């Protein structure tokens, strides 16, 4: 008997996301099939030890061009990885795992913490997070979410 394939959701090249575990209600995400690992704009990154395990505290400005709104986030570090940016710059980054919600899509994903202040989007959704779940329609925006 053949296993029925799960229907994949179609997303636009940009969507609004919710990160409930980080108390980030809305952050615009660029769906980036060129990026392997997802990345969020994080600053004031402070690693620490909690009950013998590595944790990190960081700040997030979820809205582009709005430095007044800031979220302080605290979560376990699940890994340190060398990440190569689109400009070819290699950087060792903290990796966290958190819940991502885009429309009806919800999944725990790995996210690298990076200073994306100069970038057009505060959050990139990489292909590891999409694999098996999402298809990208690059001709549309906000297919699962409203502006």
What tens digit of pLDDT does each residue of 67-89 get? 777 889 999 999 999 988 777 88
Flag whether 6 is in a domain: no
126-136 tens-digit pLDDT? 999 999 899 99
Flag whether 143 is in a domain: no
Phi-psi region of 133 (alpha: psi -120 to 50; beta: other; left: phi over 0): alpha
Flag whether 133 is in a domain: yes
The CATH number covering residue 91 comes to 2.40.70.10
Number of domains in the chain: 1
**Alpha carbon separation from 54 to 10, 41, 80, 88 (Å, rounded):** 36, 20, 11, 28
Residue 25, both tokens: 């209600």
Flag whether 67 is in a domain: yes
What pTM value is reported for the model?
A: 0.88
DSSP, residue by residue, 73-124: EEEE--EEEEEE-TTS-EEEEEEEEEEEEETTEEEEEEEEEE--TTSS-SEE
14-58 tens-digit pLDDT? 999 999 999 999 999 999 998 899 999 999 999 999 999 999 999
Flag whether 5 is in a domain: no
Q: Which residue range(s) make up the domain with 45?
A: 16-137
């Amino acid at each position: 008997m053949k296993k029925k394939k799960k229907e994949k959701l179609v997303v636009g090249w940009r969507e609004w996301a919710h990160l409930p575990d980080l108390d980030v209600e809305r952050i615009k995400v660029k769906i980036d099939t060129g990026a392997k690992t997802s990345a969020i704009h994080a600053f004031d990154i402070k690693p620490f030890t909690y009950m013998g395990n590595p944790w990190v505290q960081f700040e997030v400005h979820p809205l582009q061009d709005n430095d007044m709104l800031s979220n302080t986030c605290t979560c376990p570090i699940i890994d340190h990885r060398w990440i190569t940016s689109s400009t070819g710059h290699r950087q060792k980054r903290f990796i966290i795992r958190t819940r991502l919600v885009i429309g009806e899509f919800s999944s725990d994903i790995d996210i690298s913490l990076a200073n994306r202040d100069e970038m057009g989007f505060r959050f990139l959704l990489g292909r590891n997070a999409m694999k098996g779940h999402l298809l990208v329609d690059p001709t549309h925006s906000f297919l699962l979410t409203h502006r």
